[in-house]
Structure 1
Amino acid sequence: MGDTDGAEKLLEEAFYNQPFNKDIVTLVFSFYMDTADYRKLIKVAQRCMAFHLADRLCWHRLGTAHFYIGEYQSAVLAFRRSLEIEHNPKASFGLSQPLLALGLYEEGFNRFEERFVANPSINWIRAEKMHMPKWQGEPLAGKSILIWSEQGLGDSIQFSRLLAVLSAQGALVDLILHPHHSDLEGVLSTVAGINSIILIAGNRFKLQRRYDYHCPMMSLMGILKLTPAIEVANEAYISTPASHKNKWFEYQERPEKKIGIVWSTALSDAFLKEHPMHAAAKVKKSIALRQLEPLFHLSHCCFFPLQIAISEEDRQYLSKYDNICDVSEKLSTFSDTAAMIDEMDLVISIDTSVAHLAGAMGKETINLLGYVSDWRWQQNREDTPWYASMSLYQQTFEGNWEQPVNKLVRLLQ
């Protein structure tokens, strides 16, 4: 019996014998949250309810568990019950996730604003110290506004399209990138409506001018009262920077169908050890490279890995196939990746920043999704209002990639 199994057995025995002990209940909840065993967490919450011990935190944890297994309606009900007992920014932000997944954008994006109260560390720019007001929808004609990137690389790619909306209202729009997002400078410089992009080395910086307003990028949807299905233009809005056009011209004349592939996220092992919930997400998002083997037997196709982080085991596996052209070591920036995407006939990717980039460029893209996916892809869809050129191939059973891969083979044959 491994350490995790032993710890689980001890906690279950303690919880069974002392169901009214709040410290033990908290430990049990934390254990199942850290190990991403959400169905067992739900059972613990239900037992607490049976003993009339369901407090605000119990309902909050229940909402989180329902969300992570794709039971969005149940998640909404649980988060609302938690908020009825006592308002809490973390529960309000938690509620935003299933609301957005269900397409309830107005309330979803309003509650999404609680992210900065729920987790102050993501306010990396410390906007309150910049002595400028946050934009709340005021007229922008003749005004200047500083937009700052946040969350992941894919988020910045996805929501950068909204800067053109601000520019069309008459604003001078500058974009400051989080230090971890600086690699996006080249591709984001092609987005319409951006006056300039500001790069910084760390959280300490000095702006060269004063702005009338600032706004975090992912707040724009809610403030502008937009929905992806109606107002957000989903045509291509990012292109390869001029400096990288035709960089990979040597691949243009290859007769095979050229397909870019991404099968794994780039989160480091050290990061995953400290953040076990992200480790669970990586497992659910990623595909073992060998599971894509049926594709590699299609001799009329040539596959180009578009991810930078490739394990030695995967690299050795790739070398077995003559129709895999491993160019990953040449891709040092997103501009390099964009130039390679230009040469592809199709991009097949799990839910990563490369999928967002390919979709934003208008490249035909297939986004491979786990049984439970991120809120932006909604439920049971094969298309997405965010990217007109993207199709969604989703697992029909949790952890089983066979059906999406077989669907890909039929498409490419």
Structure 2
Amino acid sequence: MTAEMHLQRGIELAHKKAYQEAVDSLRLAIGLKPDDAEAYNSLGEVLNDMRRPADAEPYLRRAIELDPDYAAAHNNLGMALTKLTRPDEAAACFHRVTELLPDEPVAYYNLGVVLKEARRLAEAEGCLHRALKLNPDYPAAEFALGTLYLLLGQFDKGWKTYESRHKLLGFNPDIHLWQGEDLRGRKILLFQEQGFGDTLQFFRFAPRIAALADSTTLWVQKPLYRLLAASEHNVKIHAGDDIKEEFDFVATLLSLPRIFNISTAAIPGTVPYLQPDREIAARWQKTLQKTADNKRVRAGVVWAGNPHHNNDHNRSIPFQLFQQLLSINTISWISLQTGPQAGDLASCSGQVTDCGCTLSDFAETAGLIANLDLVITVDTSVAHLAGALGKKTWLLLPFMPDWRWQLDREDCPWYPTMRLFRQSRPGNWQEVLDRVKQALNDL
């Protein structure tokens, strides 16, 4: 086979998500034709898709050496550098793409997103506006602009622009979308959307709807059913695959702040608005008395979120870094970590009581948290759960956090019992952990 045949085969395999076979074919193409910029770019793109940005970087740089005006290679290098938490370098790549493709809205969108990651927020806003000027029907750019406004606390513009997520996600219900109409004598269905944390955070608005409507039903993810169904808020909870009941209106939880015109000064931050099940909490109390060393402070920890989340490279802390906290022997450490990262604990046997493997749903987790003095977590649903329960919570945040945590503050208006520990530089978790260790010493 010729170099061109290996190249085309590699591209076709990548489209089929047969990534390792694609890598093999593209390496053969490069071996036969070592000056082919397209082959280097294609290999770098596949490695990006495999979540191997460090491996992708040299191939993409080689593609640019061979063809300095290769827009796709600059774009793919920008993507790799973004995943490597090097936003300023990534921004330079995306800026070059805008020079090469000045009328391409995606180029300005990518540049705007990474400038936001670099906290160059005025520049980011300008790029996103430019993307929308080039393509007014660009939900992803509109959504990014909405989250930027919310991050800055500009809720008046933010909530409105944030509605673009419906177009982005293809949300188009048959039932009339509620926009604040009179709900007396009416039935309304509330939808969860996005992740568990979003449902937990915005559940606070459901009782407000229940006070206005004749009947309020909230459709949630199954792991949340037991916890929310036990809440005393006159909200019916549904978690099945289908719902037979008919409704007059439908609304999504994350649209309620816009409809209620929630400002930064009027965030409903009263906690707790969720309560643990007493029997589950009592069972966990007995379990911890038997299994955990009973020191002065009992702290639950989560160091990693969903590995498939598109921002996991920023949100999660490598366990080899995080475990320095676990060596503080004045704390009874309780792991709330679930998922594949729970296996990280094998390297520190005896330092931590591992409860994550038995947490079947959020009702179980809430019962466990009720028996803790403190929760230390990265930005995951556990942070929202602990905050909603009114538990003392320390949240460890990347340089550019999700919009709800805003910027440059240690407190959180959504959760008054939460303290925020932020990176001052992209990717630098050590400084965050040093501040956490000092705070633990001050307890």
TM-score, L = length of structure 2: 0.79
Query: What residue in structure 2 maps to residue 114 of structure 1?
Result: 164
- The higher relative CO (CA closer than 8 Å, separation ≥ 6) is in 1
- Out of 117, 123, 138, the position equivalent to 1:68 is 117
Partners of 2:209 and 2:415 lie apart in 1 by 20
Whether 1:363 aligns to 2:386 is: no
Return the index of the structure with the highest Cα Rg: 2
For 2:318, the aligned partner's letter is A
Match of 2:333 in 1: 303
Give the SS at the match of 1:248: helix
- Alignment partner of 1:372: what SS? coil
Match status 1:94 vs 2:119: no
Give the C-alpha shift of residue 27 in structure 1.
5.0
Note if 1:47 corresponds to 2:75: no
Question: What CA deviation, in whole Å up to 9, does each residue of 1:338-363 have, x standing for no partner?
Answer: 01100000000000000110000000
Give the Cα–Cα distance (whole angstroms) in 2 for the partners of residues 14 and 234 of structure 1: 59
What is the CA-CA distance between 1:312 and the residue it aligns to?
7.1
Q: Distance in 2 between matches of 1:335 and 1:104?
A: 34
Query: Which residue in the other structure is 1:195 paired with?
Result: 235
Tell me the equivalent position of 1:257: 297
The question of whether the paired residues in 1 share the 8 Å contact of 2:190 and 2:250 is answered with yes
**Counterpart in 1 of 2:359?**
331
Structure 2 distance, partners of 1:297, 1:256, is 15
After TM superposition, the score normalised by the length of structure 1 is 0.85
Whole-Å separation in 2 of the counterparts to 1:90 and 1:288: 30
Unpaired runs of at least 5, structure 2: 1-39, 41-53
Q: Which amino acid aligns with 1:264?
A: A
SS at match of 1:246: helix
2:126 partner SS: helix
- Tell me which residue corresponds to 1:245: 281
Query: How many Å apart are 1:115 and its aligned residue?
Result: 1.2
Q: CA deviation at 1:404?
A: 1.8
Q: Does the Cα contact within 8 Å between 1:164 and 1:192 map onto a contact in 2? A: no
Which AA in structure 1 matches 2:63?
Answer: L
C-alpha separation between the residues in 2 aligned to 1:333 and 1:90?
Answer: 32
CA contact (8 A) 2:78 2:91 kept: no
Within 2, Cα distance between the matches of 1:5 and 1:31?
A: 6
Change (3 A) 1:49 1:291: closer
- How far apart are residue 300 of structure 1 and its match? 2.3
Q: Distance in 2 between matches of 1:34 and 1:294?
A: 29
Q: How many residues align?
A: 381
Map Cα deviations across residues 154-206 of structure 1 (whole Å, 9 max, x no partner): 011001111011122244210112xxx210112222445343111224xxx2x
Kept in 1, the 8 Å contact 2:61–2:77? The answer is no
2:417 matches 1:381: no
Which stretch of the first structure deviates more once superposed, 185-194 or 74-83? 185-194
Question: Among 158, 173, 184, which residue is 1:127 paired with?
Answer: 173
Corresponding residue to 2:257 among 221, 233, 240: 221
- 1:373 & 1:363 partners in 2: Cα distance? 21
Q: Calculate the aligned-residue CA RMSD, in Å.
A: 2.4
Deviations 1:14-40 (CA, angstroms, capped at 9, x unpaired): 552xx3xxxx42453245225525434
What displacement does 1:289 show? 2.4
| Residue 105, structure 1, aligned to residue 124, structure 2 | no
Distance 1:9 1:290, change over 3 A: closer
Q: 1:110 to 1:336 in 2, by over 3 A?
A: same
Residue 45 of structure 2 aligns with which residue? none
Distance 2:261 2:324 in 1: 44
**Secondary structure at the residue paired with 1:133?**
coil
Q: Secondary structure at the match of 1:340?
A: helix
User: What residue number does 1:186 align with?
Assistant: 226
What letter corresponds to residue 432 of structure 2 in structure 1?
A: P
Separation (CA, whole Å) in 2 of partners of 1:367 and 1:293:
16
Aligned to 2:63: 11
Q: Give the superposition deviation at 1:42.
A: 2.2
C-alpha change, 1:50 and 1:282, in structure 2 (3 Å) is closer
Contact 1:105/1:227 (<8 A) preserved: yes
Query: Contact 2:226–2:362 (CA<8 Å) still a contact in 1?
Result: yes
Q: Is the 8 A contact 2:78 2:93 kept in 1?
A: no
1:298 is paired with a residue whose SS is coil
Distance in 2 (CA, whole Å) between partners of 1:218 and 1:368 is 23
- Counterpart in 2 of 1:28? 74
* 1:275 alignment counterpart: none
Structure 1 residue 291: deviation in Å?
2.1
The Cα of 1:297 is off from its aligned counterpart by: 3.4
2:75–2:97 CA contact under 8 A, matched in 1: no
Partner Cα separation in structure 1 for residue 231 and residue 359 of structure 2: 21
* 3-state secondary structure, aligned to 1:245: helix
Q: 1:306 to 1:173 in 2, by over 3 A?
A: same
Give SS of 1:61's match: helix
| Equivalent pair of 1:48/1:54 in contact (CA under 8 Å) | no
Deviations 1:63-106 (A, max 9, x none): 11112223222211211122233312222112111111101112
Instruction: Tell me if structure 1 keeps the 8 A contact 2:147–2:403.
Output: yes
Q: Partner of 2:283: helix, strand, or coil?
A: coil
Asked if residue 408 in structure 1 is aligned to residue 440 in structure 2, the reply is no
Change (3 A) 1:294 1:29: closer
Aligned CA distance change for structure 1 residues 11 and 137 (closer, same or farther; 3 Å): farther
SS at match of 1:344: coil
Residue type of the alignment partner of 1:411:
A
